[in-house]
């Protein structure tokens, strides 16, 4: 019983040691953008968000000792669909697409505990055309 009490006490940390991380994803294009979230190939988290035109498309936050992007996004891959004609897929484990992955901290602008990713022409140009509906 004493061992369990000691282990529980060691696993707890003061609330002030926790960080709150906020992620915002903005649509910087005039296009319609849908984001679909997946874990192990299955829909996860919020499943899908959509925004036509410029503005915030996603906001999420997490509180932990170390805040991780994929925990806030609740996914290991995200598909962005542009106007139901082009798609770009972001992968956690391969950090694709290189240079502007939703899972890479360097792709965000940071202001305190808030990290913002803006979907832009780079995403649209990297997206591949779909034949028929993009899913």
Q: What is the pLDDT of residue 3?
A: 46
β-pair type (55-64, 42-52): unpaired
Q: What is the pLDDT of residue 133?
A: 75
The residues, any chain, with a CB within 8 Å of residue 79's CB and separated by 6 or more, are 35, 36, 38, 87, 88, 89, 90, 134, 135
The alpha carbon dihedral of 21, 112, 33, 52 has a sign of: positive
Q: Which two tokens stand for residue 53?
A: 């035109």
Q: What is the pLDDT of residue 72?
A: 75
φ, ψ (nearest 5 deg) of residue 115: -115, 130
Question: Is the preceding omega at residue 5 within 30 degrees of 0, hence cis?
Answer: no
Q: What is the pLDDT of residue 21?
A: 82
Give the residue among 54, 52, 49 at the shortest CA–CA distance from 120: 54
Burial 120-130 (b: 16+ CB within 10 A, else e): eeebbebbeee
Q: What are the mean pLDDT values of the chain's consecutive 10-residue runs (135 residues total)? A: 46 55 92 92 82 92 71 86 93 82 89 92 94 75
The residues, any chain, with a CB within 8 Å of residue 6's CB and separated by 6 or more, are none
The alpha-carbon radius of gyration of the chain (Å, integer) is 18
Q: What is the pLDDT of residue 8?
A: 44
């Amino acid at each position: 019983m004493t061992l369990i009490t000691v282990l529980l006490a060691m696993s707890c940390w003061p609330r002030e040691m926790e960080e709150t991380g906020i992620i915002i994803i903005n649509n910087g294009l005039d296009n319609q953008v849908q984001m679909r979230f997946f874990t192990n190939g299955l829909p996860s988290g919020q499943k899908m968000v959509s925004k036509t035109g410029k503005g915030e498309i996603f906001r999420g936050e997490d509180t932990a000792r170390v805040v991780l992007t994929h925990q806030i996004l609740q996914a290991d891959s995200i598909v962005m669909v542009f106007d139901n004609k082009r798609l770009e897929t972001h992968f956690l484990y391969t950090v694709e697409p290189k240079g502007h992955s939703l899972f890479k901290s360097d792709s965000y602008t940071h202001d305190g505990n808030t990290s913002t990713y803006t979907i832009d022409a780079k995403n649209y140009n990297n997206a591949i055309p779909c034949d028929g509906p993009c899913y």
